[in-house]
Structure 1
Amino acid sequence: MKALFCTAIAPLFAGWALLSGTPPAAAVEWHGLLDMRALHTDAERSWTDAGLGKLRHDKQSSGLRLGQAFLSAQADLLSNTITGRLVLSAADDRAGALDVNEAWLLWSPLPSSAWKTRVKLGAFFPASSLELDYDSIGWTPSRTVSSSAVNSWIGEELRTQGAELTLTHKGRQSNSLHDFGLTLAVFGGNDPAGTLMGWRGWSISDRVSGLTEGLLLADLPVYRPSGEIPKQNRSVHLFRELDGRAGYYLGGQYAYTEQVELSALHYDNRGDPLVEKNGQYAWHTRFDHIGLRLRPAGEWELAAQLMSGETLMGPQAVRLSFKAGYLLASHPFAQGHLSLRYDRFRARENDILPSDPNHEDGRALALAYALPLRQGWSLLGEWLVVKSTRPARRLTGNAPAQTERSLTASLRWQF
């Protein structure tokens, strides 16, 4: 079976409809985000530069940087119940100038009961992050500069390319304080998801992968021409369809007024780990995810997410169980919000290649302050420290245990 029809067609249709302005009555809404930053870090060679560092930037790239640039076009199509959206992105640590982050169509008919239906078709992120605001663009956290390990990995390796159905029961329609819902998605592509987890591990980053870009892996012996997996290309294209098998995820949500939000998700890309095409392997990646947000008295906001899963490539050439979680506390301070996030992450291998160590342990602490300014401008500051141990670093001439620190000031303009 070839890739799902919607995987190839829906993003193109969404982009064509938005940029052509069809129908004439539909006005295109343009939104964007520009993130310029100054940073200082002592981190070793970053994974974005084919290293095994956990941060997006390393000590060779301290200074002024373009953190993020997103441009979003959105319009109502055909009727007020169908919306299309196209999101383009740029960053200074990407080989190409521009790439597509999302392209989708959303059908959301007016409900005739307490149940609301939403059908999304195209390429988009699975709705799982608690670090985003409702109007966030491009998987960008709002209270910190970096994302947690859980949401960093989702932004780097996962993208739904298919169809998602969400059914939500709104309590206010039945005089209830409780909302709940179910989500089911079927998707193609994303077969190489797990490659970064296997050969790089977790990261603490805010880098979002474009749908067409290639990411360069560290120069590890296992996929050199003389290594045990010589067919693996060092340039990884994470969103390709390789095995013709559809993946899925199934989730549930619950909310009590605005005080409690609870979500759970089971994800399985159903990748065939024995399939390889043009230097890319399919990885069988699956995980369970839970998220909790609390807004108790005193204007506190508390959030936590936990992910636990496994990924497999080849006949157990790489078999890895992984787990990560974080706790985030945020509270108004002066005119902005002060936030503290603590991460823990780990990976454990059980494969047939002891010469290719993939296990690791780590923890991270981020202290951030977000200050809204005028007319869409905001200023964020973040101090971040990550301590991790990854034995594979010896294979690149580095110490297995590293402590990486960064201090970042980010000036954002969102419109």
Structure 2
Amino acid sequence: MRFTPPPILLALMTLAGGADGAEWRGLLDVRAVDADANRGFLDGGMGKTRYDAQSPRLSVGQAVLQGDMDVADSISASVVLSAEQQHRGRAVGVREAWLAWSPLPAGAWKTRVKAGFFFPPTSVETDYDSVGWLPKHTVSSAAINSWIGEELRTNGIEWSARRLGRYVDAPYDVGLVAAVFNGNDPTGTLLAWRGWSISDRIGGRNDALLLPNLPSYAPDGPIPAQSRTIHPFREIDGRLGYYYGANLGLGRTLELSSLRYDNLADATAIKDNQWGWRTRFTHLSAVWRPRGEWELAAQAMAGDTMMGRNLVALDFRSWFLLASHPLGPGTATLRYDRFSTREHDHLPTDPNNERGYAVALAYDAPLADHVSLMTEALLVRSDRGARLQIGEAPVQTERSLTLSLRFNW
């Protein structure tokens, strides 16, 4: 069973671009970066950050255009396009493209059906109405959302329902979500052979990612059918995956959510030098806004992934805590990350264990209408034995300082 491909939705938005009611928003992020990492993951290294010591000091970090429109009563459409200097494949990509049906509620329950190519409801670092699924208080995303941004997307249909407490004299809202999707069969490849990252790079629909030059998938290695370039959103085995979850909200004071994800991929399937990876995880998140304008957020993820008949298999874990508070004209934010992978497969010559942590300190301040300046100091320390196979030290400490000038419209 296959879902109608997102290009149809993109074509719809293109035709609707000049229609009455269409709204276009955008973001341009021009940044200066000073980084000391040896070789970043975008250049085939095993660095954890988007930028390394060889990266340009000035660059365009994000260029995003989002179009939203009402197609008919209760039906809306959205498309998100992006461009970047650091890319493989197409310079302009489709981050999201979807249709949504939101019928008028007959009672306390409000429902929505969403179809297309979009992010699962996970991140607590983004605003609901933000452009491009970017973190609102920092330049980089935490490890969990960095991975989701690059290697995981819903290409299918999602149903959600929320019971609004004000209609039943309850102080809280409750919600449910469930989805079926195809694609995402290679999801897990990055965690196994490159590991976690701390980045704001977000993949597009036809994205291509370069793996490190490891001997495991070299032409004479034990997995010769694996290409060094992966396409994370490909469909390989024709199976549907799913996720389901629940959430609870006490106004804006407390928001809790959970999600169970399983792509149900056939781990023995191979297509166009891409393996299927059976990847599943449980995700939990919380946002607490106590008095004093504090915002405290946390996410945690635990799961496993496997390709072949236990040819490559590992458990993965990550969590982070984030605190932000207004300071002067802007907002200061501190985030602490932990991440790890633990292998349990049949290839001792393919080490995939990893552990590490990251600390980000950021400050975001408005400069003028639709213009802001965000600064971020980032430190990432990680231990990954596989780095020895490409001539790198297994333990690395990476630092970067980023100034991000953002124009919104």
> Which residue in 2 is equivalent to 1:100?
94
- Number of positions where the alignment pairs a residue of Structure 1 with one of Structure 2: 408
In structure 2, the gaps of 5 or more residues are none
Read off the aligned partner of 2:141 and give its amino acid letter: S
Quote the residue 1:19 is aligned against. Answer: 14
The question of whether the paired residues in 2 share the 8 Å contact of 1:18 and 1:28 is answered with no
- Which runs of structure 2 are paired with 1:293-332 in the superposition (5 Å)? 293-332=287-326
Which residue in the other structure is 1:385 paired with?
A: 379
Amino acid of the residue matched to residue 358 of structure 2? Answer: A
> 2-side partners of 1:21 and 1:191: how far apart?
32
Q: How many angstroms apart in 2 are the aligned matches of 1:109 and 1:335?
A: 40
Partner of 1:245: 239
Match of 2:336 among 342, 364, 372: 342
1:5 matched to which residue of 2?
3
Q: Determine if contact 1:26/1:76 at 8 Å carries over to the other structure.
A: no
User: How far apart in 2 are the matches of 1:343 and 1:131?
Assistant: 13
The 8 Å contact of residues 297 and 322 in structure 2, kept in 1 or not, is answered as yes
Residue type of the partner of 1:309? G
> Whole-Å Cα distance in 2 between the matches of residues 13 and 5 of structure 1?
11
CA drift of 1:152 comes to 0.4
Superposed CA RMSD in Å reads 1.1
Deviation of 1:375 after TM superposition, in Å, equals: 2.1
What is the Cα deviation at residue 62 of structure 1?
4.3
- How far residue 19 of structure 1 moved from its aligned partner, in angstroms, is 1.4
CA distance in 1, matches of 2:214, 2:57: 29
1:303: Cα distance to partner? Answer: 0.2
Q: In structure 1, what is the Cα distance between the partners aligned to 2:251 and 2:210? A: 45
Q: Which deviates more from structure 2 when the two are superposed, residues 134-143 or residues 339-348? A: 134-143
Give the C-alpha shift of residue 137 in structure 1: 1.7
2:84 aligns with one of 69, 73, 91: 91
Question: In the TM superposition, what whole-angstrom CA distance separates every residue of 1:316-367 from its partner, at most 9, and x where no partner exists?
Answer: 1110100000000000000110000000000000000010000100000000
Alignment deviations for residues 112-132 of structure 1 (CA, whole Å, 9 cap, x no partner): 111001000000000110001
AA aligned to 2:92 is L
**What amino acid does structure 2 have at the position aligned with 1:192?**
P
Deviation at 1:373, TM superposition (A): 2.6
Q: Which residue of 2 aligns with 1:138?
A: 132
User: Cα offset for 1:61?
Assistant: 0.3
Q: Give, as a single letter, the amino acid of the residue that structure 1 aligns with 2:174.
A: F
Counterpart contact for 2:3–2:181, Cα < 8 Å: no
Percent of counterpart pairs with the same letter? 52
Aligned pairs for 1:159-198 within 5 A? 159-198=153-192
Q: 1:281 aligns with which of 275, 278, 283?
A: 275
CA shift for structure 1 position 26: 4.0
> In the aligned structure 1, how far is the partner of 2:129 from the partner of 2:286?
20
Instruction: Report the secondary structure of 1:373's partner residue.
Output: strand
The range that moved more, 146-155 or 166-175, is 166-175
What is the match of residue 200 of structure 1? 194
Cα distance between partner residues in 1 of 2:3 and 2:119: 19
Q: Distance in 2 between matches of 1:171 and 1:373?
A: 38
CA deviation string 1:143-168 (max 9, x = no partner)? 00000001100101100000000010
Determine helix, strand or coil for the equivalent of 1:144: coil
CA distance in 2, matches of 1:345, 1:15: 36
Task: Quote the residue 2:364 is aligned against.
Answer: 370
Residue 261 of structure 2 is aligned to residue 267 of structure 1: yes
Q: How do residues 146-161 of structure 1 correspond to structure 2 at under 5 angstroms?
A: 146-161=140-155
SS for the counterpart of 2:28 is strand
Partner letter of residue 14 of structure 1?
A: L
CA distance in 2 between counterparts of 1:51 and 1:376 reads 36
Structure 2 counterpart of 1:111, from 105, 110, 115 = 105
Distance 1:247 1:21 in 2: 31
CA contact (8 A) 1:115 1:167 kept: yes
Does residue 1:212 correspond to 2:206, yes or no?
Answer: yes
CA contact (8 A) 2:299 2:321 kept: yes
**Are the counterparts in 2 of residues 21 and 27 from structure 1 also a CA contact under 8 Å?**
no
Tell me the CA shift for residue 21 of structure 1. 2.1
> Alignment partner of 2:256: what SS?
strand
Deviations 1:195-226 (A, max 9, x none): 10110010000000111021111100000001
Distance in 1 between residues matched to 2:333 and 2:249, nearest whole Å:
23
- CA distance in structure 1 between the partners assigned to 2:183 and 2:131 by the alignment: 22
Using the TM superposition, give the Cα deviation of residue 14 of structure 1 relative to its aligned residue in structure 2, in angstroms: 2.1
When normalised by structure 2's length, the TM-score is: 0.98
The aligned counterpart of 1:394 is 388
Query: Is the Cα–Cα contact under 8 Å of residues 224 and 230 in structure 1 kept in the other structure?
Result: yes
Counterpart in the other structure of 1:357: 351
Distance in 2 separating the partners of 1:363 and 1:31? 35
Q: Which amino acid aligns with 2:365?
A: L
Structure 1: distance between partners of 2:384 and 2:197: 12
Structure 1 match to 2:219 = 225
Q: Is the 8 A contact 2:3 2:155 kept in 1?
A: no
Q: Does residue 30 of the first structure (1) align with residue 24 of the second (2)?
A: yes
User: 8 Å contact 1:168–1:180 — kept in the other structure?
Assistant: yes
